[in-house]
Chain A
Amino acid sequence: MTYVSIEGIAKRFKQPGGGVQTVFENIHFGVAKGEFVCLIGHSGCGKTTILNILAGLDTADDGVLLVGDKEVAGPSLDRAVIFQGHALMPWMTAIENIAFAVSSRWPDWDRAKVRAHCQKYIDLVGLTGAERKRPAMLSGGMKQRVGIARALSIEPKMLLMDEPFSALDALTRGTLQEEVLRLCAATQQTVFMITHDVDEAILLADRIVLMTNGPQAKIAEIVVNTLPRGRTRHDIHKHPHYYAIRNHIVDFLVERSRGFASAIPAGYDPRRPPETSPGTLRAAS
């Protein structure tokens, strides 16, 4: 069951010399309830703009955003955002940052109830003991944990993540990826995430949306991740489908993302981007 779907959205900018630059147009895809979808593409293809449109922070020049069956505009507490640069308020402590979100979600809660709820999420992301620290006192990974706790604490229907791990070192990134996977699986969370890391996409996502280079970026295809859920960093590469999927996506990023627009495959319909399962294809052949 599709929870959120994007239908024919486009983003255009007026150019200084007159004329219009189309960043992307005719973008269609949906995210089902409980599904984890990654969008992958090179920088400049408008990934963040698509996420911002989903979050209601940006508006599309064409097309609509449907949540359930209703067209929506503007931000909503139902769709929580985990920002790339964590976006914590530096004058608030870790728990105050979360409390700001919680008291926005439930304005009639009293202080004690807000506090208890915040503590639950602080514990959940493993920050017990660091509640009273300000962001400047926390490491990059801890800051992003606060960001994750803040987003989860409002119990959203959907999580939107904009390259949440890209600013972290490799070790921290790995740990946080697995924790996000665990948290999202435990709560049956619907997630849409932007990344440019192929392994991250295969580890986390059920489906991976491949976007061509801008301008006039398109969704070339949607790769179904045939690795079963319950994936871990340590053993995904042992699965027989892993390399087929990985090679397929890397091939796309290196080669086809550039030339796609000039050699559109026959039968390509932007309203129904083809779904492929490179894992099973390779296994069958």
Chain B
Amino acid sequence: MFATVRAKSALLSILLLALFLGGWQIAATPTAGTGPALDPEYAALLGASAQQGKQTPMPTPVEVGVRIAKHLEAPFADRGTNDKGIGIQLAYSLARVLLGFGLAALVAIPLGFLIGMSPLVYGALNPFIQVLRPISPLAWMPLALYTIKDSATSSIFVIFICSIWPMLTNTAFGVAHVRKEWLNVARTLEVNALRTAWRVILPAAAPTIVTGMRISIGIAWLVIVAAEMLVGGTGIGYFVWNEWNNLSISNIITAILVIGLVGMLLDHMLGFATKLVTYQE
């Protein structure tokens, strides 16, 4: 029963994809004879395809497919500042996300522990968290650029600031809600605070903490694209913006697809980590 439902949904997914690609192909296929209606100056701006009588530079799925294949041929080719392979750009973005996310985890998890264990610290820090958390991470960008004076570091800072909150609040919540009886077991065994934190509180709160990390990395991956569009230089976000300036819609679509796939991969990795630390009561 289960297997057949899975097979059916897979079939339906393929069908939906085929329908979408087919619709796109039909919509984007140039219709001959409508060429002259286009203003010649605008056609010049739009590039070669428009001058050939094509209405828009919107590529067909086949064209995008060809472009993806071309990217995959040499993903790490470096042909100068504005012509780096998509693999190199992705590597830049991933490195920034992992660095910013890693630094955020180093701060958020210990701090979350402290907040979760001490009502005093919770009360003292809660107003700041409440105000800082809803700020769009990109709003920090000008301030970061002004103070740090380095665009690459600034984008890492933006990733850091946006991924800290879900980890911080989830860690604090998980630690504060460890079952009282487990803590009582540790107390009756005269286990010291450090060992209790390591052997009881951490494993008890781990599923909540890793869920926070999963939310954080998702947000970080969303934000990196926007941050790199602002900062420029390298990265998948910059690649998208650069290709927009080049008006290469095929490249943009390729990048969008890649961003989605990498985001899914990051999420799956932390989903797997969640499974490892989840316990059944």
Binding site for B on A (CB under 8 A): 55-57, 75-77, 79-81, 83, 85, 87, 89-91, 100-101, 104-105, 134-136, 154
Our pick among A79, A105, A134 for the contact of B279 (Cβ within 8 Å) is A134
Q: Is the CB of B189 within 8 A of A89?
A: no
Our pick among B179, B187, B206 for the contact of A57 (Cβ within 8 Å) is B187
Name the CB-closest residue of A to B190.
A77
A104 in contact with B190 given A83-B184, A83-B185, A87-B181 (CB within 8 Å): yes
Q: Is the CB of A80 within 8 A of B188?
A: yes
Inside 8 A of B279's CB, which chain A residues have their CB? 90-91, 134, 136
Most buried by A among B182, B189, B191, B280: B189
Q: Is the CB of A75 within 8 A of B190?
A: yes
Name the CB-closest residue of A to B207.
A91
Inside 8 A of B203's CB, which chain A residues have their CB? 89, 91
A89 in contact with B188 given A134-B279, A134-B280, A136-B281 (CB within 8 Å): no
Interface residues on B, range: 20 to 34
Q: Is the CB of B185 within 8 A of A87?
A: yes
Number of A-B contacts (CB under 8 A): 57
Interface of A is mostly: loop
With A55-B188, A75-B190, A83-B184 given, name 4 new contacts (CB 8 A). A75-B189, A76-B190, A77-B190, A81-B184
Cross-chain pairs A/B with CB under 8 angstroms, 9 sampled: A83-B184, A85-B181, A87-B185, A90-B279, A91-B277, A104-B190, A134-B279, A135-B281, A136-B280
Interface of B is mostly: helix
Inside 8 A of A90's CB, which chain B residues have their CB? 279-281
A101 in contact with B189 given A90-B279, A136-B280, A136-B281 (CB within 8 Å): yes
Q: Does B200 have its Cβ within 8 Å of any Cβ on chain A? A: yes
Q: CA A134 – CA B281 in complex, angstroms?
A: 9
Inside 8 A of B187's CB, which chain A residues have their CB? 56-57, 75
A83 in contact with B189 given A89-B200, A91-B203, A136-B281 (CB within 8 Å): no
Q: Is the CB of B199 within 8 A of A100?
A: yes
Most buried by A among B188, B191, B200: B188
Q: CA A83 – CA B183 in complex, angstroms?
A: 12
Our pick among B181, B184, B189, B206 for the contact of A104 (Cβ within 8 Å) is B189
Inside 8 A of A81's CB, which chain B residues have their CB? 184-185, 188
Inside 8 A of A87's CB, which chain B residues have their CB? 179, 181-182, 184-185
Q: Is the CB of B188 within 8 A of A79?
A: yes
Q: Is the CB of A83 within 8 A of B181?
A: yes
Q: Does B168 have its Cβ within 8 Å of any Cβ on chain A? A: no
Q: Does B204 have its Cβ within 8 Å of any Cβ on chain A? A: yes
Question: B173-187: which have CB < 8 Å to A?
Answer: 179, 181-182, 184-185, 187
Annotate B192-216 by CB proximity to A: 1 below 8 A, 0 otherwise: 0001000110011010000000000
A77 in contact with B185 given A89-B200, A90-B281, A91-B204 (CB within 8 Å): no
Inside 8 A of A105's CB, which chain B residues have their CB? 189
Inside 8 A of A136's CB, which chain B residues have their CB? 279-281
Q: CA A85 – CA B184 in complex, angstroms?
A: 12
A57 in contact with B200 given A134-B280, A136-B280 (CB within 8 Å): no
Q: Is the CB of B184 within 8 A of A89?
A: no
